[in-house]
C-alpha cells in the first residue's frame, strides 16, 4: 500500500498493467482461483483429462513437427520409452513449448535461419528468424531496506506445516504471496525512445528475504549480507533492440 501511495504522490498512475495502458504502478497480477495460484494445467487440462477426444502423453520427447510439401503441418513425431511415434493431426498442430522449446522444435522441423539449419543437416522448409529476439529480464537490486511496520516473508515460515495448512484450508498466509513480489511498475526512463509504445524498465517490490533462509545464494548474487532482513526494490531492463540468443546445438 505504501508502494502504491508513494507512486501516486509523485504523479504516477496506479492501474491495471494488463489493460489498455500499462505505464504505471500496480499490484502483482497472477492467475488465482479462490485465493490459490492456478496453473494452466489446473485451469484447463485437468478438468478435461477424462474426455474421450483427449489423450495426454507424459515423459515424451517431441522430435519434430511433420510438414508436407505444401508446407502444411500434419502431425508430430515424438519419442517415448525408446520408441518413436508419428501422430497425425486432423485439423492443426499447436506448438506450445515455451520460449526455449518452441523455437527448438520449429528449428528441428526445418523452420528457422537457413544457414543455421544447414549446419546441422536439417532440411530447410522455411527460412525464418526463429530463435532471434530471445530476451531475459536482466535486473539488479538497487534499493534494500528494512520496513518498520511490516515484516518480509521468510521461506522457512512459509514452509511450516501450520502455514501450509492455513493456505490449504483458507487460502491465507505467507504462501499466498506471488513469489514475494507484492508490487510492480512499468516505466519509461529518459533513455527510452519516445516513439516506442512500451517501457524500458520494470520495477519489483519484493517482500521476501533474499539474504536469509533458503535463498542465501540469491542474496549473495546481489551482494546482500546474510545478517540483514530486508525488503528490496529491484529494477529490470527491457531491451528495445533485436537480439539473437537461442539456437540449437545438436
Across the chain, mean pLDDT equals 82
Residue with cell 482461483: 33
DSSP 149-198: S---B-HHHHTSHHHHHHHHHHS-SGGGSSTTEEEEEEE--TTS-TT-SS
Which of the pair, 239 or 105, is modelled with greater confidence? 105
Instruction: Please provide the DSSP assignment of 18-84 as one string.
Output: TSS---EEEEPP--EETTEE--HIIIIIHHHTT-TT-----S-EEEEEEE-TTS-EEEEEEEETTEE
126-127 vs 36-37, strand pairing mode: unpaired
Is the predicted pLDDT of residue 229 greater than 60, yes or no?
no
Q: Is residue 138's pLDDT more than 90? A: no
Residue range 149-188, pLDDT digits in tens: 666 666 777 778 998 999 889 988 888 877 667 788 888 8
- The whole-number pLDDT of residue 205 equals 81
Angle at 131 between CA 55 and CA 187, to 5 degrees: 100
Q: Residue 244: pLDDT above 60?
A: no
- Torsions phi, psi of 161, nearest 5? -55, -35
Q: For 16, what's the count of Cα atoms within 13 Å in the CB-facing half-sphere?
A: 3
Q: In whole angstroms, what is the distance from residue 46 CA to residue 42 CA? A: 5
Q: What is the Cα–Cα distance from 116 to 127, expressed in whole angstroms?
A: 10
Residue 211 confidence (pLDDT) = 46
- Please give the grid coordinates belonging to residue 216: 542465501
Confidence of residue 59 (pLDDT cuts 50, 70, 90): very high
Distance, C-alpha 17 to centroid of its chain: 16
- pLDDT surpasses 90 at 73: yes
- Give the model's confidence band at 144: pLDDT under 50 very low, under 70 low, under 90 confident, else very high: low
Q: Name the β-bridge partners of 127.
A: 112
Where is 12: in which H helix or E strand?
none
Task: Write out pLDDT tens, residues 196-220.
Answer: 777 888 888 877 654 444 455 556 6
- Which triple of cell numbers denotes residue 201? 524498465
Pick the range with the lowest mean pLDDT from 41-50, 78-87, 210-219.
210-219
In the block, cell 513469489 appears at: 179
- Model pTM score: 0.69
What share of the chain in percent tops pLDDT 90?
Answer: 36
H or E segment and range at residue 87: strand 83-88
**Which three cell numbers mark 177?**
504471496
Q: How many helices (H) and strands (E) does the chain have?
A: 8, 12
**105 vs 140, higher pLDDT:** 105
List where CATH 3.50.50.60 sits in the chain. 42-127
Share above pLDDT 70 across residues of the chain, in percent, rounded to a whole number: 76
Task: Provide mean pLDDT across the span 106-125.
Answer: 95
Q: How much is the average pLDDT of 84-101? A: 93
Averaged over 102-127, what is the pLDDT?
95
> What is the CATH superfamily name and number for domain 42-127?
FAD/NAD(P)-binding domain (3.50.50.60)
Amino acid at each position: 500500500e505504501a508502494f502504491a501511495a508513494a507512486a501516486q504522490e509523485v504523479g504516477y498512475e496506479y492501474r491495471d498493467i494488463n489493460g489498455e495502458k500499462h505505464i504505471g504502478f500496480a499490484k502483482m497480477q497472477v492467475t488465482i482461483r479462490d485465493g490459490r495460484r492456478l496453473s494452466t494445467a489446473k485451469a484447463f487440462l485437468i478438468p478435461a483429462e477424462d474426455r474421450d477426444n483427449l489423450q495426454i502423453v507424459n515423459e515424451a520427447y517431441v522430435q519434430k513437427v511433420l510438414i508436407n510439401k505444401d508446407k502444411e503441418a500434419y502431425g508430430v513425431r515424438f519419442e517415448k520409452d525408446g520408441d518413436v511415434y508419428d501422430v497425425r493431426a486432423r485439423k492443426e498442430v499447436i506448438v506450445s513449448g515455451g520460449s526455449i522449446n518452441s523455437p527448438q522444435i520449429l528449428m528441428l522441423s526445418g523452420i528457422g535461419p537457413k544457414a543455421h539449419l544447414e549446419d546441422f543437416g536439417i532440411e530447410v522448409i522455411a527460412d525464418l528468424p526463429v530463435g532471434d529476439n530471445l530476451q531475459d529480464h536482466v535486473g539488479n537490486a538497487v534499493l534494500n531496506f528494512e520496513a518498520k511496520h511490516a515484516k518480509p516473508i521468510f521461506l522457512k515460515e512459509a514452509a511450516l506445516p501450520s502455514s501450509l495448512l492455513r493456505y490449504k484450508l483458507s487460502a491465507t498466509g505467507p504462501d499466498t504471496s506471488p513469489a514475494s513480489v507484492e508490487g510492480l511498475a512499468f516505466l519509461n526512463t529518459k533513455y527510452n525512445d519516445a516513439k516506442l509504445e512500451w517501457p524500458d524498465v520494470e520495477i519489483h517490490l519484493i517482500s521476501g528475504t533474499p539474504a536469509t533462509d533458503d535463498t542465501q545464494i540469491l542474496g549473495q548474487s546481489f551482494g546482500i549480507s546474510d545478517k540483514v532482513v530486508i525488503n528490496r526494490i529491484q529494477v529490470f531492463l527491457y531491451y528495445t533492440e533485436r537480439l539473437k540468443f537461442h539456437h540449437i546445438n545438436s
